[in-house]
Structure 1
Amino acid sequence: MTDIEEIRRRKLLELQRKAMAEEREQVSEAQKEQIRRQFEIQKRHILRRILTPQARSRLANLRLARPELVEQLELQLIQLASAGQLRSRITDKQLKELLRKISSKRRRIRIKRM
């Protein structure tokens, strides 16, 4: 083999390795996306079971303004439901109370002008 042929062969092998690595990465990303979608579907199903329609509506509206708060609350509700600590569906009134409790835990910053 000449030097040029050897260089071409190495380059071809390197390109094939890169292509295979990219292919694996794409499959991995697709699997992650599929897992995320399945988690979201399960989460919606559980929330539909434990919240009244009015409470779900309130969460949907609140998600527009404070998505991180809603995400935190949803996960807490799912944990309570899976632990068997919820005896009945959560009403809008109960959800408002939970939101008040969560909001009061947050530190409020007040600026006083002198």
Structure 2
Amino acid sequence: MDELEEIRRRKLAELQAQRERELEELRRQQELQSEIQAQKKAILRAILEPEARERLARIKLAHPEISESIENQLIALAQTGRLRQKITDEMLVEILKRALPKKRETKIIRK
């Protein structure tokens, strides 16, 4: 009976250790993710005018995937040195027009 209890205790200790390792890994991933987000935010603050930043934030609320794509493109342009000036709101609107798919206009014809 003591042998069985010892096996149970060892198994429980192994499971607890594994759980702790998984939690630690999850914490590290979350810290890395928050660090990446902070770096993205700093880069965007440096390359976007305040109005353009606000527009991008509003777009992120409605269309997070489109906003993420635009942010990544802008950051890539900034890192490669292809941006000569800060992105204004008007410039961002043009970028968005090119990035967003054209909406089809539906006409209803009554006969």
- TM score, norm. by length of structure 2: 0.91
For the pair 1:47 / 2:44, whether they are aligned, the reply is yes
Q: CA distance change for structure 1 residues 8 and 65 in 2, over 3 Å: closer, same or farther?
A: same
Q: CA distance change for structure 1 residues 107 and 18 in 2, over 3 Å: closer, same or farther?
A: farther
Question: Aligned partners of 1:65, 1:18: CA distance in 2, in Å?
Answer: 42
Q: Which amino acid aligns with 1:81?
A: A
Gaps of 5+ in 2: none
Q: Deviations over 1:73-105 (max 9, x none)?
A: 0011001100111111000000000000001xx
Aligned length: 109
Q: CA distance change for structure 1 residues 28 and 109 in 2, over 3 Å: closer, same or farther?
A: farther
Question: Aligned partners of 2:69, 2:8: CA distance in 1, in Å?
Answer: 50
Q: CA RMSD in A?
A: 1.6
Q: Which residue number in structure 2 is paired with residue 102 of structure 1?
A: 99
Q: CA distance change for structure 1 residues 10 and 78 in 2, over 3 Å: closer, same or farther?
A: same
Gaps of 5+ in 1: none
For the pair 1:30 / 2:27, whether they are aligned, the reply is yes
Q: Which residue number in structure 1 is paired with residue 68 of structure 2?
A: 71
Question: Aligned partners of 1:65, 1:7: CA distance in 2, in Å?
Answer: 58
Runs of 4+ more than 4 Å apart: 107-114
Three-state SS of the structure 2 residue aligned to 1:68 is helix
Question: Aligned partners of 1:21, 1:82: CA distance in 2, in Å?
Answer: 40
